[in-house]
Structure 1
């Protein structure tokens, strides 16, 4: 069942990202919001891990949180706003928020 995984905790203070990456299915999506967008920082282990996931898994980052933290999203991540987040939540069969 295609699932949208939503992460909001920093990968530097929480293990949610590494746990989530182990469970991602080929048809899943991953949305980084809140402090989870720190996973997109250049030259970090979290970004290296994200770059290893299958190309079939869509990687999204919430624009508001990227901008609030002055982070540049890599090309692999699709930056989206809240309206697109709502559409994604309806597009996937299941939404799993990692808290």
Structure 2
């Protein structure tokens, strides 16, 4: 069963990203929204981990843009309608509150 994991908290404030990466499966996707987009700042530990993992990684483009973060070529920027499509595509959605 595939899961879309949704993170919205900064990776610099707690361990949600680390916990998520421990359980994420090969068929799963990860969507960064809100302050979780800061994980895509080049030169940071979260950026290095995410770039090396080869995940199906999505980021809300609006949130990345609001934080002046470029979406790297190994991630996919999505808008809200695409977020809804992802939610339907995956069997489950797990929001890391």
TM-score (norm 1): 0.95
Secondary structure of the residue that 1:76 maps to in structure 2? Answer: coil
The CA distance in 1 between the partners of 2:8 and 2:14, in whole Å, is 10
Residue matched to 1:19:
19
TM-score (norm 2): 0.97
Q: Which of structure 1's runs of 4+ aligned residues deviate more than 3 A? A: none
Structure 1 residues not aligned, in runs of 5+:
none
Residue matched to 1:60:
58
Deviation by residue 1:1-23 (Cα, 9 ceiling, x = unmatched): 10000000000001100100111
Deviation by residue 1:10-52 (Cα, 9 ceiling, x = unmatched): 0000110010011110000000000000000001000111012
Residue matched to 1:43:
43
Give, in angstroms, the shift of residue 66 of structure 1: 0.6
The CA distance in 2 between the partners of 1:75 and 1:16, in whole Å, is 24
**Alignment RMSD (CA, Å):** 0.7
Structure 2 residues not aligned, in runs of 5+:
none
The CA distance in 2 between the partners of 1:76 and 1:7, in whole Å, is 18
Residue matched to 2:77:
79
